[in-house]
């Protein structure tokens, strides 16, 4: 800005072209900087939200699979000796993408034989009289989703006595966790202690250059108790 004095009065001639251009450049730099901060803030928020969602999915998957795998049982569960893989209460499919869990045994109470399964929650109708019990679960990974299907029966019913893994065929499945890259189940035990590895792979988030795989180990509770102390294992 230039100011001249004529006859004792100040005359404002305004900004020169160079001053205006400098001011515009400075203003543009400030606007671009503020915009960049906004963009980085939005990206950071999205990444934090996606990380939180992934962490929640991992926690949920680990919790539900651990509970289901630990509590599985069948007539061989209390056997402290080596059990063939296809006779265990927890069975991994040949391709490692599926897991079948059994909850069934025949017991005798006061001279009367009956069948028992796992308490139905959260899969079966426990409000029925008598309440339904869980007999089979099947986890399968397909097209980015980990899905589960289940079979429930009323304790001691005729349907319960018709206990076959074929009952899972054709049963509708529900999505447990979605947007996965891969899920793999593998047998980490020796037939005496039934332990299994679960590996879940999630897509990259933000600046991550590759997918992230999270692995956890689950041991079947009843089979482990039978191996450690046969007299203490119980359904």
Query: Is residue 180 within 8 Å of 162, Cβ to Cβ?
Result: no
The predicted pLDDT at position 93 comes to 93
Q: Please indicate, yes or no, if residue 63 is contained in any of the structural domains.
A: yes
Q: Which residues of 136-163 are buried (b: 16+ CB within 10 A; e: fewer)?
A: bbbbbbeeebbbbbbbbbbeeeeebeeb
The predicted pLDDT at position 161 comes to 59
- Provide the 3-class DSSP secondary structure of residue 183: strand
CB count within 10 Å of CB 61 equals 20
Q: Which residue has the tokens 């515009």?
A: 24
Sequence length of the chain is 235
Closest CA to 150 of 130, 131, 174, 126: 174
Q: Cα(40)–Cα(44) distance, rounded to whole angstroms?
A: 6
Q: Please indicate, yes or no, if residue 28 is contained in any of the structural domains.
A: no
Q: pLDDT 10s per residue in the chain (235 long)? A: 555 555 555 666 667 788 888 889 998 999 888 888 888 888 888 888 999 999 999 999 999 999 999 999 888 776 666 667 778 889 999 999 999 999 987 776 677 776 778 887 889 888 878 888 898 999 999 999 999 999 988 766 665 556 778 888 888 899 999 999 999 999 887 666 678 999 999 999 888 889 999 999 999 888 788 777 766 555 5
Report in angstroms the alpha-carbon separations of 68 from 50, 90, 119: 27, 10, 11
Strands 112-116, 118-119: pairing is unpaired
Q: Please indicate, yes or no, if residue 1 is contained in any of the structural domains.
A: no
The predicted pLDDT at position 9 comes to 58
Our count of domains for the chain comes to 1
- Strand positions, DSSP E, 93-131: 98-102, 105-109, 112-116, 118-119
Query: Is residue 138 within 8 Å of 100, Cβ to Cβ?
Result: yes
With vertex at residue 193, the alpha carbon angle to CA 91 and CA 82, rounded to the nearest 5 degrees, is: 80
Q: Please indicate, yes or no, if residue 45 is contained in any of the structural domains.
A: no
Domain coverage including residue 218 = 50-232
How many CA atoms does the CB half-sphere of 162 hold within 13 Å? 8
Q: Model-level pTM?
A: 0.77
The predicted pLDDT at position 185 comes to 96
Q: Please indicate, yes or no, if residue 111 is contained in any of the structural domains.
A: yes
Report in angstroms the alpha-carbon separations of 143 from 98, 101, 176, 180: 13, 22, 13, 8
The predicted pLDDT at position 198 comes to 96
Q: Please indicate, yes or no, if residue 207 is contained in any of the structural domains.
A: yes
Q: Please indicate, yes or no, if residue 98 is contained in any of the structural domains.
A: yes
């Amino acid at each position: 800005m230039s100011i001249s004095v004529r006859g004792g009065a100040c005359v404002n001639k305004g900004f020169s072209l160079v001053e205006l251009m400098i001011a515009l450049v400075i203003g543009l730099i400030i606007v671009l900087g503020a915009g960049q901060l906004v963009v980085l803030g939005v990206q950071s928020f999205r990444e934090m939200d996606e990380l939180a969602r992934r962490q929640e999915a991992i926690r949920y998957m680990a919790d539900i699979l651990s509970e289901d795998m630990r509590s599985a049982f069948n007539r061989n569960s209390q056997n402290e000796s080596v059990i063939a893989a296809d006779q265990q209460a927890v069975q991994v499919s040949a391709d490692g993408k599926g897991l079948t869990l059994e909850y069934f045994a025949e017991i005798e109470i006061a001279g009367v034989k009956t069948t028992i399964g796992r308490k139905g929650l959260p899969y079966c109708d426990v409000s029925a009289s008598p309440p339904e019990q869980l007999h089979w679960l099947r986890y399968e990974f397909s097209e980015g989703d980990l899905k589960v299907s289940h079979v429930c029966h009323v304790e001691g019913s005729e349907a319960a006595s018709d206990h076959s893994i074929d009952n899972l065929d054709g049963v509708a499945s529900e999505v447990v966790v979605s947007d996965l890259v891969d899920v793999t189940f593998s047998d980490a035990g020796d037939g005496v202690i039934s332990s299994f590895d679960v590996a879940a792979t999630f897509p990259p988030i933000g600046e991550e250059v590759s997918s992230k795989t999270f692995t956890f180990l689950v041991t079947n509770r009843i089979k482990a108790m039978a191996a450690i102390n046969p007299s203490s294992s119980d359904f």
